[in-house]
Structures are given as C-alpha cells and as structure tokens.
Amino acid sequence: MLYRKIGTQKESLELSVITFGAWAAGGWMWGGTERKEAVEAIQKSFDAGVTSIDTAPIYGQGLSEEIVGEAIAGIPRDKVQILTKFGMRWDLQKGDFGMHSKNNEGQDIDIYKYAGKESIIKECEDSLRRLKTDYIDLYQIHWPESTTPIQETMEAVAQLIQQGKVRFAGVCNYNVEQLTEASKYVDIVSNQVPYSMLKRDIEAETVPYCLETNKGILAYSPMERGLLTGKIKPGHAFEENDHRANLPFFQEQNLLKINEFLDSIRPIAEEKKASLGQLVLRWTIEQPGITIALAGARNAQQAVQNAAAMDINLSTEEIQGLNAQLSDLLARL
C-alpha cells in the first residue's frame, strides 16, 4: 500500500491511497446492506494496508458510522484514520432541501443540506458516539449549502479542532470560490470530489487550485459506482432503491459504449494479472493532484481486491495511451 500526506509540513494526516468508502456499507441508496459482511470488509481491508475509512452520518442514517465503529473496535486508534462528514440532515427540516428518499426500512425521508453551527456541534457528538471514538481525523462538510455563511460553518469546525474532537478540516463538492472563502476561517486540507475516467471536469479549475494551495483531493466514485469494473453490462437489472438505475452513464446506449472501451483496455489489465477495477484505481491515483481514491466494497473479497490495485504499476506511456482512448470515449458519450 502507498500512503500520502495531507496538511502542512508541521502537522499532517497520512492516508492510504486506497481509502475504504463506506457509503454502500450503510445500505442507503444501494439496495440494503449485510452488516456482518460490511464489518468484515472493513477489517480485511485494514489487514491489506487500507488504514483510512470514509463515512458519513447520512449513509444509512447513522448505520454506516455504526458499522465503521464496530469494525475498528479492536484496532489501535492511532493506526486508523476516520474521515466523516456533516451537513446532511434527515431529522431536521432546515437549510436547503436536498432530496426525497427512503431509509433502509423503506420509510419516506426528506434530506436537507444544513451546516449551521449548532447543527455541526450536534452532528459531531452523534458521530463520535456512533463511531465509538473521542476524535475524528478529518471532518468534512458534505455539500455546500446556501442558508448558512461559510464563515459560520468553518468557525464551528475550527472550534471542534480547538476542543480536540476533530484533527483536520476538509470539504466535499466545493468549487474554487467556496474553497477560497472557507480557507479564510480554518485550514482546509482537502476537497473530496467526484472523479473518474468518465468524470474529469475537476481537472479544469479544482485540480490546479489544489496543487497550488497544497490541498489534497480525495476522489470519490473512481469506479463510477461500479460501472468501471466491467461487471455492469447492457440490460443489467438493478435492485429496488438502487440509485444507479436512473444515472446517465447507466443508460443502455452509454453502457454499450463504456463496455466497448473497457473491453479495449482489458488486455492491459490481463497483462498485469489485474482486474479492470484494479487498473482503474491505479490510473486514478496516478493523475495529477489526486491524493487518494475512495473505493467501496460490499464484502471482504472486494475490499482485498481494491487494496491490491496498488500492487500493479502503470508506465507513463500506458497512462498516456489510456488517456487518449478516454478522450475518444468521452467525445462519444
């Protein structure tokens, strides 16, 4: 496993370049979860060198954080990095309306984006309780929201850092303007954003800014919600409540084009005795400005496979060749 640091020379946080993404572990929007398998996936991932875990209260409305807390109970706390978030409430109608959804019991819930100070303080306490820990390594606002000044939000996080409940502050889904504003009130060490072979828009502004200001980029959905593993073929039947069924990349005409591309790069993976997913993960963390890649797993086998992506190497020529093929694909999607 490789490890990279975010933060300053004086104080930094070292993360495994493959970080366990625990959204699917919470079941919500993924058609349910099997708790025992999720716990084992995290533990086997750690055994394979993945020391960093990214979760959020909204994932299963607390369930993902509880599963993470259970999974790391026997691991020395300073050997694992917990990344969690705040700013999405399913139990409070305040802030920006986010979406209608259903919880894991099939009940209707309304989700709001809200990052007022009193809400952040409460959310932090709730997360600490569910995670069974007394501090969070990286605390990230989940989405921007328009009803609370960024100053109020970030000063609340700065207060939590002063109190020792949080070590580092990060953001998710922020643009350059929002990053610049947030950095006035607390040291923002990272931005967690969607990035994959199919979704590269952050390369225009976010990547250059983060490189210039020494901020880490945590790439989420690097395998585009499982699509780039090559296991989702045209005609795939999604489970009920699986959010992917309605996403553009998963529509039939795009599935055909994407699977053609994956078939064309499969020989590279086979030559390296790797899966497509491992090839994709390795490509991701080799891109300029990308610090780590978040990879989810529903079971231990998937988790170990994700970690093993760091056992393969890609040459500069191979990366350039993949990028050329990607440019052609993206022009056709």
Residue 333: count of CB within 10 angstroms of its CB: 12
Residue type, 251: Q
Residue 30 DSSP label = B
Residue type, 288: P
Catalytic residue among 3, 59, 185, 209: 59
**How far is the C-alpha of 22 from the C-alpha of 191, rounded, in Å?**
17
Structure tokens that stand for 32 in this block: 């349910």
Cα Rg, the chain, nearest whole Å: 19
**How far is the C-alpha of 296 from the C-alpha of 118, rounded, in Å?**
31
Residue 203 DSSP label = G
Q: Is 185 a catalytic residue?
A: no
**How far is the C-alpha of 140 from the C-alpha of 84, rounded, in Å?**
6
The residues annotated as belonging to the active site are 59
